[in-house]
Every structure is written in structure tokens, then in C-alpha cells.
Amino acid sequence: MISFGPVPSRRLGKSLGINNIIRPKVCSYSCIYCQVGQTMNPSLTRQLFFTPEQIFIEVDNHLAKLAAEDRPDYMTFVSNGEPTLDMNLGKSIEMLKGLGIPIAVITNSSMLPDPHVRSELMQADWVSVKVDAADADTWQKVNRPAEGLKFENLIDGLKIFAGEYGGELRTETLLCKGINDSQANLKGVAGIISTLAPGRAYISIPIRPPAEKSVMPPGVETVNLAWQIFREAGIETELLTGFEGVDTGFTGNIYEDILNITAVHPLREDALMELLAKNGANFSIVESLLSQRLIRRSLYQGKKFYLRDFQTK
Ligand code: SF4
């Protein structure tokens, strides 16, 4: 199956998934947290999978079967591996653009040193690049790249692409406990991301069974710290911790509003008090959410913040 969905995505609205990689998984990384399992032979060699015509026909047929209200906001290359390893990615994007729906690509960034890959991605309307590590050692531990790629070249490729790309650029950083969640790595990653100037950076955690069973999500305190470090670096940041919070969160129901907002970013206590006052609610609702372990309190520089408690899902 080449296309699937559309699935609801906080980042992309209704997203029709496109898997342009034929099974089994083909990837240039073997991330310890990968939900598709281990990569047998991580490789940087681009290959032929489906033809652009095959992808176009399947997607076109799929769209024809959808009800008008299910028409996707984006068609997203989110593959069984790394979508840029497909030699036909550029041609497929070109053909699919004729369908009049914006195209998104979620890439691990490893192929960005290649100018052909960069020029193919230029045609996409929205691209998310992976930035998990700020140094070669951490990168090796978390992403386990194919032989032949150097960390410096990866960072150069990211910077060149970010400088050239005119669409919606996003970054995604997935944090694993004890691997890439140190303050030094968080600060280094924030430094790299701030030079890329994405419209938004996402911080995520492993929420599905990872390739390596020992991989654990970091605690709420660390996720709060990561968000604060990114924000202090001037980066518009959101959390992706498995809750479909909405950007504004304002539903008119204070209970849901607090859950929605804290799913996306830590809520400082003074802002929370303001929200309660506006809704004529009192702090007992927060205490109730805390006691149900739906949210958690976390201190940062002497201030109290509230986050969705993803540890008790
Ligand atoms: S880049 Fe994506 S598909 Fe490849 S190993 Fe990492 S998580 Fe899995």
C-alpha cells in the first residue's frame, strides 16, 4: 500500500500518508527509538522503488474515494524508512503537485549533503528535518548512521538546505533518556536549530515500542528543560508527547483547555492562574488534574510550570 489515511496530525491537519519505500525498511539510520524496528543494512545509496506514475495513480485513486470533508490538508511522505533514499522522490513530488494538495516530507536529514536531494526537497511545501544530536558521539549513539556520512557534513547539509528552502521548515528532536537528553546536548541542538531558523521545532519522545527495548522516554522535568532551552534560544517550540493538544487550546472548557495547552508546551503558573480567572474557575481544578496524574508540575529557574503527564499514559 503506497498511500494511507488521511490521519489526523497536529502538525499537518488531515494528512494523507505516502510510503514511497518498498518493504522491508530501507534507511540510512538505525535509530535506537525507531518504531519500524532495526535497519538491517543502513545505506546512503539511493534506489528505485515505485515509479512516480505508480505513486501518482494510487494516490489519485485514493483521493477519488474520499468524501469531500476528508480531503487531506497535506500529502505526506512518511515512509517505511527514509523517503529521500528514493531516486524518484523529486519526480513523484512534481507529479503529485498536479493534484493541488500541498506536499510534506519528513526526513532524517542524512541525505541533505547531496545537492540533488536538496533540490528535490525544494519542491515540497513543508519539510521536517531531524536534529537529535549536537555532536558526533551522541549522533552515533542515537541515530546509528550508515558508514560514510560525517557529522560535520550532515550539519553543513542541514544549514545549506535551511538557507535555500523557501517552504515551511520544521525540525524534530526525539529525546531518549540518558542518551541525548543531557543539558549539553539540548543546548547544542538548540544552537544548531536556531541557525536553521525553522518556523517551528518539535520536541518528541518515544511513544511506540522502540527498536531497542532499553530505550526510555526522559522524565517530565527533562522535557520541560528542553522546551525552556529551545525557547531561550529564540525557537518557536512545541512538544509532541503523544497527546493531540491543539495550538490555542481554547475550547471554552477549562479542563480540556489546560490539558490541550499543557500537551503542546509547559504552562507557567501565572499564565495558568490567568486562564483560571478568565474562566471563573479556581485552583481546585488544577489540583484535581495533578491528583489524577493528568498533568505534572515542574520547576524551572524557581518558576512553576505545568505539563501533560506523559509518564502515566
Ligand atoms: S530515520 Fe526514521 S525510519 Fe530511519 S531508523 Fe530513524 S526513526 Fe527509523
In angstroms, how far is CA 205 from the centroid of its own chain?
10
For the record, the C-alpha cell of 202 comes out as: 518539535
Pairing of strands 303-308, 295-300: antiparallel
pLDDT of amino acid 313: 55
Q: What is the pLDDT of residue 90?
A: 98
Q: What is the pLDDT of residue 165?
A: 98
- How far from 182 is each of 176, 185, 207, 238, 254, CA to CA, in Å? 10, 5, 19, 19, 34
3-class secondary structure, 291:
helix
Count CB atoms within 10 A of the CB of residue 185.
23
Residue found by looking up cell 527509538 in the block = 33
Alpha-carbon distances of 99 from 6, 67, 83, rounded to whole Å: 15, 16, 20
Give nearest CA residue, ligand 1 atom 8.
34
Ligand 1 near 309 CB (within 6 A)? no
pLDDT of residue 174: 98
What does the angle CA 178 – CA 79 – CA 46 come to, to the nearest 5 degrees? 100
* 79 CB near ligand 1 (under 6 Å): no
189 in contact with ligand 1, CB cutoff 6 A: no
81 lines ligand 1 (CB under 6 A): yes
CA torsion sign for 45, 102, 202, 311 is negative
Walk across the sheet containing 13-18 and list its strands.
3-9, 13-18, 74-77, 103-107, 126-130, 168-174, 200-204, 237-240
Quick one: pLDDT at residue 138?
98
Residue-level pLDDT at 251:
63
Verify whether ligand 1 is closer than 6 Å to residue 19 (CB atom). no
Alpha-carbon span 257 to 185, nearest angstrom: 32
The whole-number pLDDT of residue 245 equals 56
Give me the pLDDT at residue 11, please. Answer: 87
Domain formed by 3-240, architecture? Alpha-Beta Barrel (3.20)
- pLDDT, tens digit, 9 for 90 and up, residues 123-181: 999 999 999 999 999 999 999 999 999 999 999 999 999 999 999 999 999 999 999 99
- Residue 306 contacts residue 296 (beta carbons within 8 Å): yes
Q: Which pLDDT belongs to residue 264?
A: 83
Burial pattern 205-228, b for ≥16 Cβ within 10 A else e, equals bbbeebbbeebbbbbbebbbbbbb
Q: What are the CA-CA distances from residue 23 to residues 2, 39, 104, 131 (Å)?
A: 11, 11, 21, 25
Low-confidence ranges of the chain (pLDDT < 70): 244-252, 312-313
Residue nearest to atom 7 of ligand 1 (CA): 34
Q: For position 182, what pLDDT does the model report?
A: 98
* For the CA of 143, the nearest atom of ligand 1: 6
Cα–Cα distance measured from residue 29 to residue 154, given in angstroms and rounded to the nearest whole number: 12
State the pLDDT at residue 95: 97
Instruction: Give the integer Cα–Cα distance in Å for 169 and 201.
Output: 9
Amino acid at the residue 54 = Q
Is 32 a pocket residue for ligand 1 (Cβ < 6 Å)? no
CA distances (Å), origin 78, targets 15, 156, 248:
10, 24, 26
Q: What is the rounded CA–CA span in Å between residue 200 and residue 203?
A: 10
Compute the distance between CA of residue 50 and CA of residue 73 in angstroms, rounded to an integer.
24
Peptide bond into 6 cis (omega under 30): yes
Nearest ligand 1 atom to alpha carbon 80: 3
Q: Is 171 helix (H, G, I), strand (E, B) or coil?
A: strand
**Residue ranges covered by each domain of the chain:** 3-240, 259-312
Neighbours of 234 (CB within 10 A): 11
